[in-house]
């Protein structure tokens, strides 16, 4: 297996894990909508429609499979009504699905609160807040868990930024989401940076990438339908539906595209072998973490170690190297080493 294929497989595993977590949340929402016996149960069609109303793009057959799987652990049951329709209900006395969630899972939910608040649009925040409050209440209801907040402190790996949740227009975000889901073209007004003028583009939206507080639309321009690009949400000043089907690139998957780390601002279009010398804190970091799946760590001498790995060179990688100052030296490839030296030189000139 070549390194590019391995990267693709690793990204596929990540995507599958995200889909699994998304399915769990969908199931929790579904169970929470089902009435408790002796209330009249809901038909599969009604449950399916409730999920569609919540924004889940899901088939009725998938709902049927979910109900059958949930019947065992979520205390679901059904009865046929006078028309022969199967109606589902919860055969429990508890009033909320969160009561079925173990304390450890409730803990996981509240720990994910900060990440979810950044990734999910504001118009979903009320629903998220409801779930967070229920999870918090579940933990706080037991004396043993009542002080759980004093046991956790979330620290950013970089300088902690104060997130401006209003920097994305919610109306435009809704248009973008609809066009991505419906595979329809979108017209946007976009400013590449503060010095550039606003330009209008017709795009073929292919997907979304969320990185910390930055939200990206992955799309191709109608004039270059084979070249995916990134468009930052907060630089989109207007978004309108075109109501035309998108033109899909000949070969594209968001997993393969993300494997190149485009949000780290690519410096090259191919995977390269990177060789670094590390010591001190940088050595500690790469000893307990990996810069890539194929990372190899070898000792040079009593002070320095060599780290070898493969990846697409990006500004992110340069930033990581510079972050550790004298504890990291870029050995190769030459172009990456040259870029690091130039940034160090430019930085020094600012202090002269």
Over residues 193-219, the mean pLDDT reads 84
Q: What pLDDT was estimated at residue 152?
A: 60
Q: How far is CA 327 from the centre of its chain?
A: 31
- How many beta carbons lie within 10 A of that of residue 238, not counting itself? 14
Distance separating alpha carbons of residues 200 and 189, to the nearest angstrom:
4
Over residues 259-284, the mean pLDDT reads 85
Residue 1, token pair as written in the block = 């297996």
Over residues 324-329, the mean pLDDT reads 92
Residue 304 has pLDDT above 80, yes or no: yes
Q: What are the distances in angstroms from CA 196 to CA 215, 235, 264?
A: 20, 11, 21
Q: 89: which strand partners? A: 77
Q: What pLDDT was estimated at residue 109?
A: 56
The values of phi and psi at residue 157, to 5°, are -75, -15
Q: Is 266 strand, coil or helix? A: strand
Residue 116, token pair as written in the block = 């979810």
Q: How far is CA 210 from the centre of its chain?
A: 5
Residue 24, token pair as written in the block = 């769990």
Over residues 44-68, the mean pLDDT reads 86
What is the domain class of 170-259 according to CATH? mainly beta
Q: Which residue, among 96, 50, 91, has the nearest Cα to 72 in the 3D structure? A: 91
Q: Which residue would you say has higher pLDDT here, 19 or 329?
A: 329
Residue 103 has pLDDT above 80, yes or no: no
Alpha helix locations (H) across 93-216?
Answer: 103-111, 113-119, 125-140, 170-182
**CATH 1.10.10.10 residue window(s) in the chain:** 26-100
Q: In sequence order, what DSSP letters do the residues of 28-49 get, joined into one string?
A: HHHHHHSPBTTSPPEEHHHHHH
Over residues 108-113, the mean pLDDT reads 57
Given a contact cutoff of 8 angstroms between Cβ atoms, the answer to whether 328 and 276 are in contact is yes
Given a contact cutoff of 8 angstroms between Cβ atoms, the answer to whether 213 and 118 are in contact is yes
Averaged pLDDT score across all residues of the chain: 78
Q: 207: which strand partners? A: 218
End-to-end CA distance of the chain: 50
Distance separating alpha carbons of residues 94 and 72, to the nearest angstrom:
16
Residue 270, token pair as written in the block = 């191919």
**CATH 2.30.30 residue window(s) in the chain:** 170-259
CATH classification of 272-349 is 3.30.70, yes or no? Answer: yes
Q: What pLDDT was estimated at residue 303?
A: 92
Distance separating alpha carbons of residues 204 and 183, to the nearest angstrom:
8
Out of 3.20.20.140, 3.40.50.880, 1.10.10.10, 1.10.150.120, select the CATH number for domain 26-100: 1.10.10.10
pLDDT band (50, 70, 90) for residue 254? confident
Q: What pLDDT was estimated at residue 167?
A: 62
Residue 270 has pLDDT above 80, yes or no: yes
Percent of the chain at pLDDT above 70? 70
The values of phi and psi at residue 198, to 5°, are -75, 130
Strand extents, DSSP E, the chain:
42-43, 76-80, 86-90, 184-190, 199-211, 214-221, 224-232, 236-245, 272-278, 296-299, 305-311, 328-332
């Amino acid at each position: 297996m070549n390194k590019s294929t391995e990267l693709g497989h690793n990204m596929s595993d990540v995507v599958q894990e995200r889909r699994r977590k998304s399915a769990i949340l969908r199931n929790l929402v579904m169970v929470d909508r089902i009435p408790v016996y002796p209330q009249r149960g809901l038909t599969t069609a009604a449950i399916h429609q409730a999920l569609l109303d919540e924004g889940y793009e899901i088939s009725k057959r998938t709902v049927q499979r979910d109900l059958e799987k949930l019947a065992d652990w979520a205390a679901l049951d059904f009865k046929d009504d006078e028309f022969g329709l199967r109606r589902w209900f919860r055969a429990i006395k508890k009033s909320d699905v969160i009561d079925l969630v173990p304390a450890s899972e409730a803990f996981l939910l509240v720990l994910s609160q900060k990440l979810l608040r950044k990734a999910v649009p504001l118009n979903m925040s009320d629903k998220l807040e409801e779930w967070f409050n229920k999870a918090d209440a579940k933990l706080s209801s037991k004396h043993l868990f009542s002080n759980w907040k004093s046991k956790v402190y979330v620290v950013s790996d970089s300088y902690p930024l104060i997130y401006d949740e209003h920097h994305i227009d919610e109306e435009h975000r809704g248009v973008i989401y609809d066009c991505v889901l419906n595979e329809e073209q979108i017209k946007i007004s976009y400013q590449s940076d503060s010095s550039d003028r606003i330009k209008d583009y017709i795009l073929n939206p292919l997907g979304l990438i969320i990185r910390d507080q930055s939200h990206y639309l992955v799309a191709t321009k109608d004039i270059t339908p084979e070249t995916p690009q990134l468009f930052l949400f907060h630089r989109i000043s207007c978004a309108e539906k075109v109501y035309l089907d998108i033109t899909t690139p000949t070969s594209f998957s968001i997993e393969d595209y993300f494997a190149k780390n485009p949000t780290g601002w690519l410096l090259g279009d191919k995977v390269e072998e990177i060789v670094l010398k590390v010591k001190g804190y940088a050595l500690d970091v790469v000893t307990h973490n990996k810069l890539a799946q194929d990372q190899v760590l070898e000792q040079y001498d009593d002070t320095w170690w060599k780290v070898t790995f493969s990846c697409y060179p990006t500004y992110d990688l340069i930033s990581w190297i510079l972050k550790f100052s004298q504890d990291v030296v870029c050995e190769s490839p030459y172009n990456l080493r040259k870029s690091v030296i130039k940034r160090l030189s430019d930085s020094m000139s600012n202090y002269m």
